[in-house]
Structure 1
Amino acid sequence: PLGDALALLQTDPSAAVAALELLVAAYPLGRAYLLGTGVQQDPEKGTRLMQTAVRADPGNIDAQFLLGRAYQYGWGVPVDLDAARTHLTLAADSGDPRAQWSLGMLLIDGRAPTDLATAYRYVRQSAEQNFESGMISLAVMLAMGQGVTPDPAEARLLYARTAESGSAHALRALGMMILVGEGGASDPVKGAAYVELAAEGGDANAATLLRQFAEPLSQLPRTDIDAAKAKWVKDHGAPR
């Protein structure tokens, strides 16, 4: 695209200037339309502009990531998982933790050919950059043995690290592991406290679990649960 625009300088300078302006504006405009930032959201226009941006500058990692997501989820274009993998891989291999996690999820997704070992590698790279979704997904893969030998103890540690940063999702998972003694010692009071806090932080699955296990949890000492909740909030803040 840049070469075409420069070639126009010899024959049609006005058209060349317009083409160059489009190339320069394609990425910020495409991002704005995809995300609805300052403009009415328009996935089709946003994806079209992002395609132009990637052709003009293949090294634009955010553009590669966004275009990969567009193909993955059909943002203004038909879903194309091969194209999604291509663009996400370019961004992931350049170190983008969002792309690493998204690519990992794509490689687990039943719609695409499953490659758990590669998915694990990319998800771990994302988690090692402290990307929250990557850390949670890595914990799930370690707990379930997806693409790796099961390691519930490491999964529990990852959930704890992520929960301490405020994730209600991770706190719910940590609470359940502590409740049943997966990956370490069992502590029903602390486990129940963490699941309750996760529900209060908006985690819908935590609320469902509390309803499902209402009877056995009701046998635990209420004052001890409340004390464990208060200690967590004091140490790490309320989850979200």
Structure 2
Amino acid sequence: MKTILILVTMFILATTTGNSQNIEDVILESRAKLFKENTTKANRGNAKAQFDLGQMYYYGVGTKKDYRKAFEYYEKSAAQGHLEGLYALALSYYSGVGVGIDKKQALELFMECSNKGDFNAKFNLANMYFYGEGTEIDLKKSLILYKDCAENGDSNAQIILGMMYYNGFGTKKDKVKAKKWLNKARENGHKMAPQLIDNINDIEN
């Protein structure tokens, strides 16, 4: 009985290993096929395919990682107004991946994305105005942008907005609004919110 169990176990392991290898081959073939398809579409001017191909170069999916080529395809996609392409291009200029760092260009692209309704871009834009990256520090503009993100449910923006109201950054100090946004962040599960609320309560008491 023991011998049979060992043989069955060995058979299962061998079969599982074989299937795993086959699955890996299928995944690699699928990625290579997708890369080829996106290359064809991208070279024909398809903006979505250009963005997707940029992502494949960026992450090394179906091809070797190539940040420069990723940037080039993001740029082609963005030139056609594709939102994801614009956002990826903004991140490239901001971080200097695949191209030299250019915070002013990043700011302009984040602004364009923000105007098209991208809240990740709006949050990044708020950060840039807050810290003066690619522009002069403008806490009032930063506050407005963080508020838009906070109202959209971004708990990080809710935390920042709460502390801006508490400290009077870009606005008059307003402890009521500060606690309102910190409590919203806590409700949304932000880990920093409870400690910040406790700290404020300790100061007031």
Output the TM-score relative to the length of structure 1.
0.65
How far apart, in 2, do the equivalents of 1:174 and 1:56 lie? 43
Aligned counterpart, 1:142: 129
How far apart, in 1, do the equivalents of 2:95 and 2:58 lie? 11
Of 129, 146, 152, which residue of structure 2 is paired with 1:159? 146
- C-alpha displacement of 1:212: 5.6
For the structure 1 residues 181 and 65, does the alpha-carbon distance in structure 2 shift closer, same or farther, using more than 3 Å as the test?
same
- What does residue range 49-68 of structure 1 map to in structure 2 within 5 Å? 49-57=34-42, 58-68=44-54
- C-alpha displacement of 1:116: 0.9
5+ residue gaps, structure 1, are 1-40, 222-240
- C-alpha displacement of 1:165: 2.3
How far apart, in 2, do the equivalents of 1:68 and 1:43 lie? 18
Of 204, 212, 217, which residue of structure 1 is paired with 2:201? 217
Report sequence identity in percent. 25
- What does residue range 87-236 of structure 1 map to in structure 2 within 5 Å? 87-109=73-95, 111-112=97-98, 113-203=100-190, 207-208=191-192, 210-211=194-195, 214-220=198-204
Deviations for 1:193-214, whole angstroms, at most 9, x for unmatched residues? 31231132133xxx22542673
Deviations for 1:36-80, whole angstroms, at most 9, x for unmatched residues? xxxxx9487336524433324532211111221222233343332
Secondary structure of 1:79's match?
A: coil
Q: Does 1:75 align with 2:68?
A: no
- C-alpha displacement of 1:98: 2.0
How far apart, in 2, do the equivalents of 1:127 and 1:43 lie? 36
Deviations for 1:93-147, whole angstroms, at most 9, x for unmatched residues? 2112222222111222255521111111111110010111111111111111111
Q: Does 1:46 align with 2:31?
A: yes
Secondary structure of 1:218's match?
A: helix
Secondary structure of 1:146's match?
A: coil
- Tell me which amino acid in the other structure corresponds to 2:88: S
For the structure 1 residues 43 and 59, does the alpha-carbon distance in structure 2 shift closer, same or farther, using more than 3 Å as the test?
farther
How far apart, in 2, do the equivalents of 1:180 and 1:105 lie? 30
For the structure 1 residues 48 and 150, does the alpha-carbon distance in structure 2 shift closer, same or farther, using more than 3 Å as the test?
farther
Asked if the contact 2:34–2:62 (Cα under 8 Å) also holds between the matched residues in 1, the reply is no
5+ residue gaps, structure 2, are 1-25
Secondary structure of 2:192's match?
A: helix
Q: Which has the higher Rg, Structure 1 or Structure 2? A: 2
- Higher-helix-fraction structure: 2
